[in-house]
Amino acid sequence: MNHIKRSLAVLLALLLTLAASSPALAAESGSITASAGAAKAGERMTVTLSVQENPGFAALKLELSYDTDKLSFTGAENGSFQTNMNSFILSSGKVNLLWDKGDGDATGNGALAALHFTVKSGATGSANVSLRFVEANNWDLQSLQFNATGCTVAIDAAAGGSIGGGTGGGSSAGTGNANTAVEGATPTGTPQVEQPVSYQDVEAYRWFYDAVQYVTAHDLMNGVAAAGGPTLFQPNAGTSRCMVITVLARLYGADVSGGTPWYAKAVAWAQTIGVSDGQNPTNMITREQLVVMLYRYAQIKGFDTSAKAKLGAYQDAASVHSWATDAMQWAVGSELINGSNNLLMPRGTTTRAQLAAILMRFCENYSVWK
């Protein structure tokens, strides 16, 4: 028995010695790189973040910094990973980017995020966009490492059409064309608000913040006040067809007040002018239905709708209905709508935040508020 005990003691000592002398397992690592095409002063542009050799992350944090004298950060969109992605502005020129999987590890490689900027008017030369890896872990709470690499954006000093600052979903090309309206009341002046409108669910770091402020200031969309509670914008809620019709009627200058139900006058206006047939007004509107209405509205107003983009690069281009193809080509070519992860999602429901962003781009593209 003593012989066995001595043998076990020797074996245990040997194992402890080996464990002490062996190097700790290194954290798994991957790489994250930023890339962008050339941009023009006064236009929107997008920096794409891509991940390679991804070990599988449940949480990831990066710090973004950029040249504030040449670029303005306008928001970020999630990439192909099913994660909750948020951007938090720390200070001028510095933003925290956070990903949280919530139910396991995000695996695979590809597009991690799209970072949206506006190139400032008069900017020349190039602008630096830097990334710093902060921390990451997998679902088992093991630390991970990522090598993060930024990029340099070449700037063409010859400014293109002025399309203003975007929020989510912009890229680098735009038309900026404006034409005289041929019928309907044209909004005049630019409504201003002395202080930003405060919605409890629209924090300043959200990619749609500026767009929500814009549509509220121009009385195109408003918040929802709960009884005895705060006023909410409900950015992630779906948008009904009658809500979009009402917004376009307001933009046109039509009187839509006093109808029963509340959207009756707006629907009658849409049927008369040809923006919509008015069917199924309370149904949620899809992305392709929205751009069809906007396309018809632009044509009725005499705006230039010649900007068209081919849809073949999007994996779900075939799911665009034939009746929406021209409108979708125009919307993509005019930067009103942009795909995510090579997907247009034409039959997906349009959220209120997405509608606000698209309306802001539309109004700025065509200089609606003069």
pLDDT in tens, 249-287: 999 999 998 889 999 999 999 999 999 999 999 999 999
HSE, CB side, 13 Å, CA atoms: give it for residue 71.
28
Alpha helices in the chain (DSSP H): 2-21, 209-217, 241-252, 264-273, 287-300, 325-333, 352-365
Query: Has residue 174 been placed in a domain?
Result: no
pLDDT per position as a tens digit, 1-23: 555 555 545 444 544 444 444 44
pLDDT for position 261:
92
What is the CA 242 to chain-centroid distance, rounded?
24
**Do 146 and 253 fall into the same domain?**
no
**Do 143 and 256 fall into the same domain?**
no
Range of the domain at 35: 29-156
pLDDT per position as a tens digit, 333-362: 998 987 777 889 999 999 999 999 999 999
Beta strand residue intervals within the chain, DSSP E = 29-35, 39-40, 44-52, 59-66, 71-78, 84-91, 94-100, 110-119, 125-137, 145-149, 151-156, 224-225, 231-232
User: Under DSSP, is residue 51 helix (H, G, I), strand (E, B) or coil?
Assistant: strand
**Do 148 and 267 fall into the same domain?**
no
CB 63 within 8 A of CB 132: yes
* Lookup: tokens for 210: 């500026």
Q: For the domain that residue 44 is a member of, what is the CATH number?
A: 2.60.40.680
| Final residue before a domain boundary, out of 124, 156, 188 | 156
CB 236 within 8 A of CB 209: no
Task: Work out the pLDDT band at 196, boundaries 50, 70, 90.
Answer: low
Mean pLDDT, rounded, for 84-88: 69
**Do 86 and 225 fall into the same domain?**
no
pLDDT for position 73:
82
| Final residue before a domain boundary, out of 94, 125, 156 | 156
Query: Has residue 62 been placed in a domain?
Result: yes
Query: Has residue 370 been placed in a domain?
Result: no
**Do 150 and 241 fall into the same domain?**
no
Q: For residue 180, is pLDDT > 80?
A: no
What is the chain's mean pLDDT, rounded?
Answer: 79
Query: Has residue 51 been placed in a domain?
Result: yes
pLDDT for position 310:
92
Where is pLDDT greater, at 156 or 34?
A: 34
**Do 151 and 250 fall into the same domain?**
no
Spell out the long-range contacts of 277-282 with Cβ–Cβ below 8 A and sequence spacing 24 or more: 278/245, 280/241, 281/240, 281/241, 281/242, 281/245, 282/240, 282/241, 282/242
**Do 356 and 220 fall into the same domain?**
yes
Model pTM score: 0.52
261 beta partners: none
* Lookup: tokens for 313: 């690069």
**Do 220 and 336 fall into the same domain?**
yes
**Do 222 and 139 fall into the same domain?**
no
* Number of separate domains in the chain: 2
Query: Has residue 185 been placed in a domain?
Result: no
Query: Has residue 249 been placed in a domain?
Result: yes
pLDDT for position 105:
85
* Lookup: tokens for 126: 């190039």
